Structures are given as C-alpha cells and as structure tokens.
C-alpha cells in the first residue's frame, strides 16, 4: 500500500490502547488506621483475615484503555494473553464488562501475565508481577488495521515487555514507525523495571533515542524517566531514603524541568510527566514539531506550543490506594485531548481522573464518565497546596508556570479557537 493510500484510511477510532496486559488480583486488607511497618502485618505463620478480592483485567491496556473508553472516547485494545486459566479470566472480564476486543489475542504455549497488588493502609503499595506473554509481544502481534483507523496509539509499559526493549528497542521502534506511516499520533507510557532484572540493566539512553523521536506524546512517571535518564543519581537518592520515603519525594523541580527539556531535545512533541501526589508537569515543543502529530492534532498550536506548566493534584475525598492512578491520569488527559481541549484543561482532566482513582482499590471503578469529571472541575474542586521555590517559576491561577513557558493561555484565545473547562 502506497503512503498516499495509507494516509487516506478512515479514522473511525479515536484511540487504540496497546501494550502490557495482565490479570490484576487485588486482595483487600481489613485494617483500620495506618500501618507503620509491613512486618506488623505480613508475619510468617500468621493467618490474616482479608476482605473480598478484586479480580479484573489490568495493565495499561485495560486501566488506561478501558478508562478512556468509559470517558466517552471510541477506543480499541491490543494485547496478548496465554491460553490458560488466567487468560480466560481476562477475556471473560472483557466480555462481561466491556464487550469483545478484536486486538486481544490468546496464544498457545504462553502464560498470562498477572499482578498481585499488595495495598496495606499506611504502606506504599507493592506488586508481585509475572510478565508472561508480554515478554514475547512484538510487531507481529499488533493489529495495524486498528492502528491505521485510529487517531492516536497509546502504548503502555514496554520496559516490562522483553522483546520490545531488547536490541536497543528496535521492535518497538518498528511499531512506532509503522504507526507514524499510518498518520496515527503516538503516545508512550513507561514503567519502572526492577534494577536487578535484564530490563533494569538495559541501555535506556540508547533505547529512548530510538523511541522518543517517533513519539508525539511522552507520558512517563517522574521516577521512571529519572531512572532511565539519570540512573546513577536515582540510585543515590534511593540509597538515602528514610522509612516511608520514595525517590519521588527527593526529585527537585529543576530535575523534572531538565528531563522535560531532554525529552523535547530527543524529539518528543509533548512531555507529560506524572509526579504522583505532586501533580502533573508538562513541557511542549515548538509549532513545527506539533504540526507533525498526525491525526490527533493539538487543538490550537498557539495554546500548545512552547509551554511549561505544573498542575497540582486535586483534593481527594478519601485515599484508598494508588493502583492504576498514573493510567487514570493518562486516560483523563487523553479524553480531553481527543476532544480538542486546551492544554490547561487537559491537565485538569488528567489530575481529576488520577485524583478520583485513589479513592477506590482498583484502577477502574472510580470512573463515572467524562461529564462527572467536568462537573467536579467546574464545581470549584480545590487543588492541594503546593509551593515551587525554584528560580523562574511563578503561580498563575491554579498553575505553576515554568521559565520556558512562552505560549498563549487558554483565556488569551478567541472563544471559538479552543475548548476549555473554565
């Protein structure tokens, strides 16, 4: 098929969510108050009384893709499971809750990936994870008919998919290149590998140099991208952590801004860095780069180009757990982006979805639809207090504004030029 023919394919799907797929197993701890030490709960030989266990399809393919779909965006999924009991549970969950997805393959001779999420009140969550069929996922597992019909391809967690990061990431580079040939906007979400695993020892600078130029929107967490770009400094910070601290607590605003700049210089168009309880940071390239996005274009280049903003999280009603909160934040951001909202409103929806996510134990039940998020945002939902003392940063309404912010604010545009939630 010639390129001219490819670019004329009808874009009748908004988003395809592809990548890491697993079965989530989330046992509920019936514990009142916060636990100080994990060894106060997980004691050898002790019987622990538990609540109902949540079993659902998981991974970013589900947590982001299904969330985007439930936010009213036409979404398809691409992933792989084994022909085993866990694989059948994943497909049954889709069938009962979302319907059938053409892009989800069941293959013989593979084991289905699973994650057991341990969420104890007062203790940072941790996971028991098996990558399974995700490790063999590659170019041939992609349904490029779906990708060609989509405006945006969201690919999640390739650092947990061995075939994609081996050989300096050539397999995923091939997938991203094909998506760009199909005039599909590309978005990449990462994941933090075990530093002692083969993924943890990979040359991530070289890998990112293969992936980032073909990625329109980079959406890693701050710890992930800090590990990949500045591994030695990440490990130094990790070694100095006190009990209940995380590396996130010690990454400076300047370091986040520097990483945003590094990814833009590598070739990304938009860099959205998820900073957990500290909110969302965004850095964008110039108009020339944003014009190359493909089918899912920015609403207004004056509004989107050359921006540097940090938006604090909203105040959640009750914190239950953060499983899938990053995927939910991406879902909120993408749901607004596809609707051609301003950069400011995309950040609002991203943080709104992430803030709702932490009020439930799983990654999906927070989602009551796009109108519900809109209502909450318009009702005057307050953000948490946040202070940036870094030179060149200032407060502007809800946002902290970085020294590299030069684009137009949504309120500087004509009403017909951009959709906002103000």
What pLDDT, on a 0 to 100 scale, did the predictor assign at position 5? 47
Query: What is the per-residue pLDDT for 72?
Result: 96
The tokens describing 247, both together, are 């590396």
- What confidence score (pLDDT) does residue 416 get? 64
Determine the Cα–Cα distance for residues 355 and 329; give it in Å rounded to an integer: 8
Low-confidence ranges of the chain (pLDDT < 70): 1-8, 124, 320-324, 361, 363, 416-418, 422
- What digits encode the pLDDT tens for the residues 60-99? 999 999 999 999 999 999 999 999 999 999 999 999 999 8
Q: Which long-range contacts (CB under 8 A, 24 or more apart) does 92-101 make?
A: 93/55, 93/56, 93/57, 94/57, 97/56, 97/66, 98/66, 98/69, 101/76, 101/77
Give Cα 269 to chain centroid, integer Å: 16
**137: its two tokens:** 């996922």
- Alpha helix ranges (H) inside 111-221: 144-149, 162-181, 204-211
What is the structure's pLDDT at 8?
57
CATH topology of domain 3-19+62-77+139-417: 3.40.1190
In eight-state DSSP terms, residue 299 is S
Those residues with Cβ within 8 angstroms of residue 86's Cβ, 6 or more apart along the chain or in another chain: 23, 111, 112, 113, 114
Q: Computed over its alpha carbons, how large is the radius of gyration of the chain? A: 21
- 112-121 pLDDT per residue, tens: 999 998 877 7
Residue 81: CB atoms within 10 A of its CB come to: 27
Say if CB 398 and CB 311 are below 8 A apart: yes
DSSP β-bridge partners for residue 152: 15, 185
pTM for the full model? 0.92
pLDDT at 322: 66
Q: In 64-172, which ranges are E strands?
A: 75-82, 103-107, 114-118, 126-130, 150-156
Q: State phi, psi for 331 to the nearest 5 degrees.
A: -60, -45
> Quick check: 58 and 147 in contact, CB under 8 A?
no
pLDDT attached to residue 116: 92
Chain center to CA of 309: 18
In 10 A of CB 279, how many CB atoms?
25
3-class state of residue 363 by DSSP:
coil
Please tell me the predicted confidence (pLDDT) of residue 321: 63
Q: Could you write out the DSSP letters of every residue in 324-342?
A: THHHHHHHHHHHHHHTTB-
Among candidate residues 243, 242, 26, the one with its CA nearest the CA of residue 122? 243
CA-to-CA distance for 49 and 293, rounded, in angstroms?
Answer: 51
What integer pLDDT is reported at residue 1 of this predicted model? 45
| Residue boundaries of the structural domains of the chain | 3-19+62-77+139-417
Residue 296, token pair as written in the block = 């899912």
What is the per-residue pLDDT for 388? 94
């Amino acid at each position: 098929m010639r390129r001219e023919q490819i670019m004329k394919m009808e874009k009748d799907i908004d988003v395809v969510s592809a990548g890491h797929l697993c079965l989530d197993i989330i046992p509920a701890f019936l514990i009142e108050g916060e636990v100080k030490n994990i060894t106060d709960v997980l004691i050898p030989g002790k019987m622990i009384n538990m609540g109902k266990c949540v079993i659902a399809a998981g991974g970013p393919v589900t947590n982001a893709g299904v969330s985007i779909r439930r936010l009213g965006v036409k979404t398809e999924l691409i992933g792989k499971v084994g022909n085993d009991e866990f694989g059948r549970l994943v497909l049954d969950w889709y069938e009962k809750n979302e319907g059938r997805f053409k892009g989800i393959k069941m293959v013989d001779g593979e084991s289905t990936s699973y994650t057991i999420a341990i969420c104890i009140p007062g203790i940072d969550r941790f996971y028991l994870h098996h990558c399974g069929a995700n490790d063999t996922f590659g170019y041939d597992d992609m349904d490029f008919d779906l990708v060609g019909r989509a405006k945006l391809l969201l690919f999640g967690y390739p650092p947990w998919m061995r075939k994609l990061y081996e050989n300096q990431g050539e397999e995923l580079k091939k997938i991203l290149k094909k998506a760009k040939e199909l005039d599909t906007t590309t978005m990449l979400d990462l994941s933090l590998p075990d530093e002692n695993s083969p993924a943890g020892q990979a040359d991530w600078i070289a890998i990112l140099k293969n992936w980032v130029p073909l990625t329109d929107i980079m959406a890693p967490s701050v710890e992930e991208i800090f590990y990949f770009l500045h591994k030695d400094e990440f490990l130094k910070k990790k070694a100095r952590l006190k009990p209940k601290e995380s590396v996130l607590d010690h990454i400076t605003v300047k370091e986040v801004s520097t990483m945003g700049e590094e990814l833009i210089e590598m070739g990304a168009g938009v860099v959205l860095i998820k900073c957990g309880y500290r909110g969302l940071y965004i850095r964008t390239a110039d108009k020339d780069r944003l014009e190359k996005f493909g089918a899912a274009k920015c609403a207004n280049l004056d509004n989107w180009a050359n921006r540097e903003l940090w938006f604090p999280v909203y105040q959640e009603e009750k914190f239950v757990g953060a499983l899938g909160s990053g995927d939910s934040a991406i879902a909120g951001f993408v749901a607004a982006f596809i609707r051609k909202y301003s950069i400011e409103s995309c950040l609002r929806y991203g943080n709104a979805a992430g803030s709702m996510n932490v009020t439930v134990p799983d990654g999906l039940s927070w989602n009551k639809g796009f109108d519900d998020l809109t209502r909450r945002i318009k009702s005057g939902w307050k953000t948490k207090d946040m202070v940036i003392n870094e030179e060149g940063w200032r407060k502007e309404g809800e946002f902290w504004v970085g020294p590299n912010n030069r684009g137009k604010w949504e309120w500087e545009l004509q009403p017909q030029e951009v959709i906002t939630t103000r």
